[in-house]
A and B are shown apart, each in its own frame.
Chain A
Amino acid sequence: MNEIKHHTINSPNTKSIWKILESIPDPEVPVLSIIDLGIVRDVKINNEEFEVIITPTYSGCPAMDMIKMNIRMVLLEHGFQNIKITSVLSPAWTTDWMSEAGKQKLKAFGIAPPTAKQQVCHTELFHDGEAIQCPRCNSYNTRLISQFGSTACKALYQCNDCKEPFDYFKCH
């Protein structure tokens, strides 16, 4: 696991930027803030410039452009003028970076949070890996319908007990 500085505080200003970023939702899963999602890598102040360093979730995630725009807008609203948003690919984002609070919010929203152990990203065929808990009735008796769901970050499951289909925020 690479060390991720979730709250680098260099001065009151970076601290206030981190605070502001907590208010920006992920456009596709709006119960999560971009901080919950773990995509904000660092906040820096270089002279008069405020730099926010983010890591994309998926290469083709259409939300990334919107997230960048929202960061810029919200910071402008709070009086920050000179804003730079930098995308860094490496180390690659992983669902391990999602905060515990974020996982709880996901579940309350009806999306099964990523499991703690990364068991899904392997090439073993027809293998469901670790059981995924139904976010509605908490049963582990669930089955995978499709590895690809409504957005790049989700897989489709169905609960065998309460019969409800649900999204699972898949390990990445």
Chain B
Amino acid sequence: MNELINYTLQLADNSLILGHRNSEWTGHGPILEQDIAISNIVLDLIGQARNFYQYAAVLINNSTNQQFNQSTTEDTLAYLRNENEFKNCLLVEQPNGDWAKTILRQFFFSAYQFYLYQHLQNSNDETIAAIAEKSLKEVTYHLRWSSEWIIRLGDGTEESNSRMQKAIDDLWMYTDEFFEASSYELFAANEGFGAGVSLLKKDWMKKVKDVFDEATLSVPAELKQQIKWFGKEGKHSEHLGYILTEMQFLQREYPNSIW
């Protein structure tokens, strides 16, 4: 039961944190249409997060596990957990940087979600399967949109190409975490409610290579830095703390306030 809860929370946390990061662009997008586009993607991601949090809350409230109290809701999960309880991967908490970096982060993540949700549609957990089925259609739009931007920028001007390539050099080292299973992901894959993440790597790599080829971009030969920590297990970069501080401020300072 614990593994199912952790697995569900991880799916929610990834979408919430990336949604929050992208929302920092709302009102600041490079042009109006793209400001609207990224804000729409935010809505989809936070919507997915809500579905997973609602499910996690039900699981937690039904379980006898005393680690959590009995009145968990989607809001307490988003607003009242600490940094080390969040299970999102490191990629999604990385700062926005310029448009190239934001686009690339979205592309890496959407491609991952695209193959992940294809597997999760067949999860033996009905709720996870239903959320995955619903979300996959949205993710397809995200993947297409971000892929087109990678190509537009990579195969654009000298400056847009060099910015794109710099973003790749900065973010590439975070992508391996997708495919390294945490303990609860291994359990989930064995039990049939989750996907074997290492199996997703082949499709993901092919997608990335195809888009990069068309964009005249290349995958770095070596990693800029070896990452030793693991967001999935609650070990985060310094950035998550700042995100949570801003996101959780209201509920921490004024508990139970509503608007």
Q: With A146-B36, A147-B37 in contact, do A60 and B46 touch (Cβ < 8 Å)? A: yes
Residues on the B chain within 8 Å of A172, using CB: 137
Q: Are B43 and A62 in contact (CB under 8 A)?
A: yes
- Complex CA gap A147/B40 in Å reads 10
Residue of B nearest to A151 (CB): B40
Residue of A nearest to B35 (CB): A148
Asked whether any CB of chain A lies closer than 8 Å to the CB of B65, the reply is no
Select which of A56, A125, A150, A152 is within 8 A of B147 by beta carbon. A125
Q: Are B147 and A59 in contact (CB under 8 A)?
A: no
Number of B residues whose C-beta is below 8 Å from A?
36
Mark A103-146 against chain B: 1 for CB-CB distance below 8 A, else 0.
00000000000000000011111100000000000000000011
Number of A-B contacts (CB under 8 A): 85
Asked whether any CB of chain A lies closer than 8 Å to the CB of B134, the reply is yes
What class of interface size applies to chain A in its complex with B? 20 to 34
- Complex CA gap A76/B143 in Å reads 43
Q: Are B143 and A148 in contact (CB under 8 A)?
A: no
Residues on the B chain within 8 Å of A58, using CB: 43-44, 47, 138
Q: Are B33 and A60 in contact (CB under 8 A)?
A: no
Select which of B130, B141, B214 is within 8 A of A147 by beta carbon. B141
Asked whether any CB of chain B lies closer than 8 Å to the CB of A73, the reply is no
Residue of A nearest to B144 (CB): A123
Select which of A93, A122, A126, A146 is within 8 A of B37 by beta carbon. A146
- Which of B's residues lie within 8 Å of A, judged by CB? 33-34, 36-37, 40-48, 50-51, 114, 126-127, 129-131, 133-135, 137-138, 140-141, 143-145, 147-148, 151, 211, 214
- Which of A's residues lie within 8 Å of B, judged by CB? 56, 58-62, 89-93, 121-126, 145-150, 152, 156, 172
Known: A89-B133, A145-B33. 9 other contacts (CB 8 A): A59-B131, A59-B134, A60-B45, A92-B134, A121-B140, A122-B144, A125-B151, A147-B145, A152-B44
